[in-house]
C-alpha cells in the first residue's frame, strides 16, 4: 500500500522539476528572512537566482550543527514567532540542544510524511499503534502521533518509561504496531518476560523502530524475540523529526527518502565533495517545503549511501542504506575505524550473548584502548567458569578477526548493563574527561 500514490511514485523527471521549483522558493525565502543564510550566500558570492538547476545546489555552503548552536534558540527561524505553533529540541547529548520550530503547515507536512511512513511500514487505518517513543521535546512521540491520527489509525500515546504498565497495555489493548527505539523494544520484551508474558504471543504485526543505529543482526534478534516484522525509520529534528525516510515492509532494503520534501546528497566528510550514488559518505539534507525552520545543505554526520534502483513496492524515491552510525560516534582504535553497530553485528553472531552492550574507550599512554562490555544470558551465566572463559575468548577473537584490532572483552552479568527508555548509550568515552 502507498499512502500518497501521486507523489510517492513520481517519475524521476517530474520529481526533479518539483524539487527545483521548491528549492528555488525555499532559497528566496531564507535569503530574505534568515540573516545567517543571507550572510552565507553573500560570503560565497551567490544569490538565490544563481541556482538554476539541482546541480547548482552544490555551490551553496553547508550548514552544520555548530551553525544552529550559534543561532540558539530561534535565530534560524524563517517566520515570525506569531506563525510558529510548535517547538521541539534535539536531545543535546553534547552541549546545547538544537531548537526547531514548525508552522501549522509544517505540522501538516510532518503528519502527511508520518502517515506515509506508517503505511510504508505496513500500517493501515485499522491498526492500533502502541507509541512508546518519548513525547516532549523529542520529536519521536508527537511525530508518530500526528501521523497515526492523519492515517486514521488508533494511537496509544504511552510514551517512554513506566515499562510494566506498558506491558499491561500491550497485553490488554492488543496493539498491532509498536513504535519505539530498538533498544527500548528489547527492554519491553525483557520486562514482559519477567511478568510471564511472551512478547511473541501479543498481537503485534509490525514494529517501526528508529532514532538510533541498529544492525541487521539486531533486527533479526528483535524479530525473533518479539514475533513481529521490524521496519527501520529514520529522521532528525533539524530536518523535521521522524518521517524523513523509511523502509517499505515489502522489501525492507534501504529507506525511501521523501524526496518531494527533502533533497538528499552524500558528501565526502573530509572534502565536502558530492559523491555519486552508491558511494558511502555523510548524508546532507536540504528541506524544500518547510516554512518555520528550513535547512539548507544540513550536514547530518550520519554515514550511509544512496541506492537509486527501482523498488518492488513501487515507490520511486531513492533509498538510503541503513545508517551504520554517526561520524562522531565512530571510534578510531589504533587507526582502525570502528562503528558501534559493527561491534554489535559481531556480538550478535555469538550464542549466549545478549543484545546489551557498551563500549568503553580509554586512553592509556598514547594508545586508545577499547573495552567491550557485553551481557551474557542467564543460561550461559550459570555455566561453569571454563565455559564463560571460552565465550570471552571467542568474542575477543571474532572482534580481532573482523577489525584487525584487539579489544578487551568483559562479560557482564545478566541485566547489569543499563537499559534505555529512549536512545541507548552505547559508547562511554573516557578520553574526553
Chain residues in the site for ligand DLL (CB under 6 A):
90-91, 133, 138-140, 210-213, 232-237, 241-242, 300, 302, 323, 326
Comparison of 20 and 320: residue with beta carbon closer to ligand DLL: 320
CB of 211 to ligand DLL, least distance (A): 4
Residue 223 Cβ vs ligand DLL, minimum distance, rounded to whole Å: 16
Q: Least distance (Å) from ligand DLL to the CB of residue 303?
A: 9
Q: What's the min distance (Å) between Cβ of 47 and ligand DLL?
A: 30
- Cα–Cα dist 24/195, whole Å: 56
**Contact predicate 151/144, CB 8 Å:** no
252 phi and psi, to 5 degrees? 45, 45
Least separation in angstroms between residue 342's CB and ligand DLL is 13
Of 48 and 210, nearer to ligand DLL (C-beta) is: 210
- Residue placing its CB nearer to ligand DLL in the complex, 115 or 236: 236
Of 40 and 299, the one with the shorter C-beta distance to ligand DLL is 299
Residue 326 vs 387, nearer CB to ligand DLL: 326
Give yes or no for a contact between 417 and 358, defined as CB atoms under 8 angstroms apart: yes
- How many residues are there in the chain? 433
Smallest gap from residue 288 Cβ to ligand DLL (A): 19
Name the residue among 306, 181, 178, 302 with its Cα closest to residue 238.
302
How far does Cα 362 stand from its chain's mean position?
Answer: 27
Q: Using the minimum distance from each CB to ligand DLL, give the nearer residue, 282 or 380.
A: 282
Based on CB atoms, which residue is closest to ligand DLL, 27 or 344? 344
Q: Grid coordinates standing for 175?
A: 496493539
Identify whether the C-beta of residue 264 lies closer than 8 Å to the C-beta of residue 19: no
Q: How far is the CB of 184 from ligand DLL (least distance, A)?
A: 11
* Minimum distance of ligand DLL from residue 234's CB (angstroms): 4
Q: Which residues pair with 362 in a beta bridge?
A: 369
Sign of CA dihedral 346, 303, 322, 310: negative
> Kind of pairing, strands 325-326 and 298-304?
antiparallel
CA 146 to chain centre: 18
Which strands form 319-320's sheet, in the order they lie side by side? 154-156, 128-131, 177-180, 206-210, 229-236, 241-246, 255-257, 319-320, 306-307
Pick 233 or 264: Cβ nearer ligand DLL: 233
CA dihedral for 341, 342, 343, 346, sign (positive or negative): positive
Amino acid at each position: 500500500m502507498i499512502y500518497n500514490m501521486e507523489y510517492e511514485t513520481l517519475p524521476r523527471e517530474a520529481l526533479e522539476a518539483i524539487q527545483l521549483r521548491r528549492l528555488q522558493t525555499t532559497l528566496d525565502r531564507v535569503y530574505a528572512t534568515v540573516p545567517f543564510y543571507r550572510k552565507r550566500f553573500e560570503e560565497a558570492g551567490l544569490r538565490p537566482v544563481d541556482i538554476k538547476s539541482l546541480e547548482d545546489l552544490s555551490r551553496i555552503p553547508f550548514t552544520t550543527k555548530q551553525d544552529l548552536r550559534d543561532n540558539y534558540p530561534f535565530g534560524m527561524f524563517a517566520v515570525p514567532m506569531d506563525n510558529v505553533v510548535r517547538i521541539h529540541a534535539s536531545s543535546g547529548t553534547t552541549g546545547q540542544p538544537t531548537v526547531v520550530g514548525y508552522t501549522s503547515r509544517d505540522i501538516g507536512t510532518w503528519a502527511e510524511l508520518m502517515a506515509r511512513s506508517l503505511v510504508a511500514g505496513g500500517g493501515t487505518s485499522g491498526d492500533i499503534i502502541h507509541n512508546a517513543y518519548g513525547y516532549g521535546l523529542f520529536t519521536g512521540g508527537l511525530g508518530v502521533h500526528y501521523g497515526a491520527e492523519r492515517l486514521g489509525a488508533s494511537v496509544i500515546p504511552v510514551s517512554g518509561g513506566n515499562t510494566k504498565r506498558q506491558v499491561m497495555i500491550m497485553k490488554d489493548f492488543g496493539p498491532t504496531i509498536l513504535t519505539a527505539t530498538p533498544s527500548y523494544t528489547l527492554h519491553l520484551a525483557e520486562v514482559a518476560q519477567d511478568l510471564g508474558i511472551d512478547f511473541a504471543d501479543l498481537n503485534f504485526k509490525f514494529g517501526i523502530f528508529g532514532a538510533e543505529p541498529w544492525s541487521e543482526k539486531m533486527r533479526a534478534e528483535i524479530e525473533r524475540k518479539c514475533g513481529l516484522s521490524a521496519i527501520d525509520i529514520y529522521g532528525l529534528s533539524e530536518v523535521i523529526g521522524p518521517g524523513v525516510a523509511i523502509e517499505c515492509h515489502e522489501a525492507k532494503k534501504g529507506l525511501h527518502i521523501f524526496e518531494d520534501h527533502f533533497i538528499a546528497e552524500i558528501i565526502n566528510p573530509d572534502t565536502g565533495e558530492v559523491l555519486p550514488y552508491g558511494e558511502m559518505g555523510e548524508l546532507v539534507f536540504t528541506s524544500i517545503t518547510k516554512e518555520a525552520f528550513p535547512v539548507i545543505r544540513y550536514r547530518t554526520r550520519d554515514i550511509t549511501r544512496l541506492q537509486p534502483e527501482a523498488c518492488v513496492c513501487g515507490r520511486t524515491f531513492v533509498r538510503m542504506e541503513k545508517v551504520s552510525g554517526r561520524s562522531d560516534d565512530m571510534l578510531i582504535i589504533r587507526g582502525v575505524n570502528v562503528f558501534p553497530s559493527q561491534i554489535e553485528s559481531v556480538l550478535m553472531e555469538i550464542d549466549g550473548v545478549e543484545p546489551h552492550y557498551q563500549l568503553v574507550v580509554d586512553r592509556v599512554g598514547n594508545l586508545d584502548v577499547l573495552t567491550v562490555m557485553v551481557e551474557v544470558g542467564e543460561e550461559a551465566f550459570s555455566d561453569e567458569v571454563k565455559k564463560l572463559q571460552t565465550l570471552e575468548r571467542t568474542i575477543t577473537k571474532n572482534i580481532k578477526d573482523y577489525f584487525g584490532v584487539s579489544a578487551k572483552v568483559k562479560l557482564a552479568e545478566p541485566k547489569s548493563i543499563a537499559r534505555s527508555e529512549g536512545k541507548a548509550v552505547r559508547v562511554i568515552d573516557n578520553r574526553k574527561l
